[in-house]
Amino acid sequence: MHDDTKAKTITTLAQLEKYLQLTDEERVFGLLEGVLPLAIPSYFLSLIDKDDPHDPLRIQVVPTIHEGEHLEAEHIDPLAEVDHSVTRRLIHRYPSRVAFLVTDICAMYCRHCFRRRFTGTFQGPATRAEIEEAASYLAKHREVKEILLTGGDMMTLSDSKIEELLSIFREAREDLVIRLCTRIPAAYPQRITPALIAIIKKFNTAPFYLMTQFNHPRELTREAIAAVGMFVDVGIPAMNQSVLLKGVNDSADTLEELCNKLIFSRIKPYYLFQGDLVEGTSHFRVPLGRGLALEKELRRRLSGLAMPLYAVDLPQGGGKVPLTEGYLMESSGCAVWNFTTVEGKKSSYPKE
């Protein structure tokens, strides 16, 4: 992990108890084995209301005994990423894009993590040989147009390791769109520096996109917005992928505030994901019907620019499916299509 990040991170319940009065459900997490590790940067910890055990930021990062609950419908690899892996670190699920698992390390381990089969398993960053193996695959598969550098969090690597990573992929494919997937701007924005931005810009023969994860408006602090702004200022667009989480953002008011604050911060709300069916996360999942009701209300309140796409990543590698209220109601004979508007009114559109 990047040294500066590691030095300011809470990694044990004993350390955490110096800052927060842990609940019984949080304290007994220590009895579980084989679960996602604990890591909370002191920066993010400072944003938590220590007097509120139900604080939406606390819920995301402080583990509980509920992570030991595994439902029958859940799976350790619900998206079947292992089955779609073409090298040890490269996942090729969709025809035009791949995901490369840069590292299993995160600056902050979110308790709703869907990739807990890999994340925090102490395998460390990809080796140069593993990066070169993936790059060789991409050189041969020109149908791939985009790569997601994910994990784990690539921004936990040192600047020199990030430079090596980008150099190898760019040497193989100058034309590849690169998505930089990171939670660092929310978890530890101090990691984003002018030196890091300068390194990334050296490899802009094709576009970069910054893919962030902000789940609650309070995560969009002045520091977080400034960190993202460093990318945007040099021409790297920022797009946000939120997860719909029970007790965190499962209200129309919270999501409305989040999406509008994102837009104001020059970050496009891209996806609002239904929680994946991964083991140990059932206490976070919002019923899909409730999610659809929230999506309907958000579409009424938000502009098209501020509106994220509500989607579910189907189990067994079924892929992403958009979830939305059906506004096309029926076809009336041969003349028109009948619609219900976002406001609930009736309207029609001619077939020809």
pTM reported for the whole predicted model: 0.94
**Which residue out of 89, 93, 183, 191 is catalytically annotated?**
93
Is the model's pLDDT at 4 over the cut of 70? no
**Which residue out of 58, 77, 104, 106 is catalytically annotated?**
106
For 3-322, give the CATH class.
alpha beta
- For the chain, count helices (H), then strands (E): 12, 14
**Which residue out of 89, 115, 170, 285 is catalytically annotated?**
115
By the 8 A CB rule, do 171 and 135 touch?
Answer: yes
Residue range 16-24: mean pLDDT, rounded: 96
pLDDT tens-digit readout, 155-174? 999 999 999 999 999 999 99
pLDDT tens-digit readout, 98-129? 999 999 999 999 999 999 999 999 999 999 99
- The number of C-alpha atoms within 13 Å of 245 and in the hemisphere containing its C-beta is 24
Residue extents of the structural domains in the chain: 3-322
pLDDT tens-digit readout, 300-314? 999 999 999 999 998
Annotation marks residue 128 as catalytic: no
Annotation marks residue 276 as catalytic: yes
Tokens of 41: 């940067």
Residues in the chain: 352
Annotation marks residue 181 as catalytic: no
Q: CA 280, 153, 52 angle in degrees (round to 5)?
A: 55
Side chain identity at 170, as an amino acid letter?
R
**Which residue out of 6, 8, 27, 97 is catalytically annotated?**
97
Annotation marks residue 43 as catalytic: no
Annotation marks residue 77 as catalytic: no
Annotation marks residue 313 as catalytic: yes
Annotation marks residue 334 as catalytic: no
Annotation marks residue 19 as catalytic: no
